[in-house]
Structure 1
């Protein structure tokens, strides 16, 4: 495993994701219902993530598959948000790109150091967010209520900002994992695993920016 090899694979996954997202976007723009592509892409993408987590050696095909199917998901929801709030998607893309560049610079110049304490806090916060989202989703099937992270209230906006911060902090864990893996000479397939981890974080960050910007736009 090398850093340069992981970077190359990350670019390859990004291209696959953009290509697949374009397909969903095109279908939506031409009047087709993107629900099957969007939902199917999200579900299959999640399954591929689980496969890679439990069997990293399979990330050689799981990572490209994830990029393709997650691209279908991203394209569908992007078209949905763009239809409701024109110009929102390019803003979310810009925010995601700027966040990535800033985090990479902070990591590269060791302004932010990834210590064991840093890792523990970020992982704990990430698991807490995942649990909160999952619990809210499950409860919505049994109780008629609106989760506090929905809507455009100040509380909801605050939660979105917090989640974006945690998602951005996960980028530092991705950078550290890739660098550490290269230093320890992990197997070559771990380049795909590292690239996939980075892509997952970027997708999460982008989706959260879509939510935040839509909430701010709806308050205008």
Structure 2
């Protein structure tokens, strides 16, 4: 926790806390406080000055045997897990827990009737969006809220996949395989050092994401006010060199999602090296889950647009 979050380190509160401590009474000069023996004597049951009870070292410390010293010397040093610091294993376990919640949510929408799946899909989309904002702006990660976000996203992805799979059988499995393929290749490129999170890459990512969001907003209004263009609006009605615009935009979005994964991996690596608290693992898991959901959605949309234009 930052010092600003602790009341003890806030100037005004700190001063008031010190001011409330009562002063220690002082004895007159040359006299001993009440209840203390004169100089050179010891209270009943205590050892004289310069001596120690049997089995204790100087100044009252417990004596340590040579065997205990040897055991302490041979014992391994405390690792990050023992000192409460985040590790790669923590991030992996928390991320798998989030992905498990996504799978459970998706399984629910795949098991219920289609009308109920559509309702759950809408609930998942709205609820996931709200919890994504809540978790993003929270100072400390809350595991329950992060897992709830993952479950709601699972409802949304499961319902969307079910609807699209009715027109293009097998599209969901293809999207899952494509998501793992892109994420795996991105991780290998990052670990090999071929792709790094640089300031230049961050500037490109921010500009490209803003452009992508602007196109998505425009396409949304086109779909609302001109539904005759089709289910995907400009994505499926406009073609560039015979290729649907949605496929081109989708491929750009997949690249952006892969770049987002690079920054996620970089954040995890920096947190582990800096010895961040273990609760940071939940923040990292949330970021990875958001990126993987985005990646799966874009791949699923590319496949749906491509199959609808066959």
TM over 0.5: yes
Give CA deviations for 1:130-168 in whole Å, capped at 9, x if unaligned.
233134324654x43644224473222211111111112
1:149 alignment partner in structure 2: 235
Name the stretch that deviates more: 165-174 or 130-139: 130-139
Q: 2:171 aligns to what?
A: 88
Question: How many angstroms does 1:209 deviate by?
Answer: 0.8
Paired residue secondary structure (1:132): helix
Q: Tell me which residue corresponds to 1:216.
A: 306
C-alpha separation between the residues in 1 aligned to 2:168 and 2:155?
20
From the CA coordinates, give the structure whose radius of gyration is larger. 2
Structure with more contact order per residue of length (Cα contacts < 8 Å, sep ≥ 6): 1
CA contact (8 A) 2:141 2:280 kept: no
State the shift of 1:65 in Å. Answer: 0.9
Counterpart for residue 5 of structure 1: 90
Name the SS of the counterpart of 2:278 in structure 1: coil
The answer on whether the counterparts of 1:56 and 1:190 sit within 8 Å (CA) in structure 2 is no
Question: 1:207, 1:32 → 2: CA distance?
Answer: 21
Q: Which region of structure 1 is more displaced relative to structure 2, 54-63 or 92-101?
A: 54-63
Give the corresponding residue for 1:110. 193
Counting only pairs closer than 5 Å after superposition, residues 47-66 of structure 1 correspond to structure 2 as 47-66=130-149
Structure 1 residue runs of 5 or longer lacking an equivalent are none
What residue in structure 1 maps to residue 184 of structure 2? 101
Q: Deviations over 1:82-129 (max 9, x none)?
A: 111001111111111111110000001111111111122113312321
Give the corresponding residue for 2:253.
163
Name stretches of at least 5 consecutive residues in structure 2 with no aligned partner: 1-85
Contact 1:51/1:58 (CA < 8 Å) preserved in 2? no
Tell me what 1:179 maps to. 269
Structure with the largest fraction of helix? 1
1:172-202 Cα distance to aligned partner (Å, 9 max, x none): 1111111112222333222111111111111
User: What is the match of residue 46 of structure 1?
Assistant: 129
Number of aligned residues: 217
Residues 183-202 of structure 1: matches in 2 within 5 Å?
A: 183-202=273-292
**Equivalent-residue separation in structure 2 for 1:74 and 1:132 (angstroms):** 22
The equivalent of 1:77 in structure 2 is: 160
Asked if 1 retains the 8 angstrom alpha-carbon contact of 2:141 and 2:282, the reply is: no
CA-atom RMSD, angstroms? 1.9
Q: TM-score w.r.t. structure 1 length?
A: 0.91
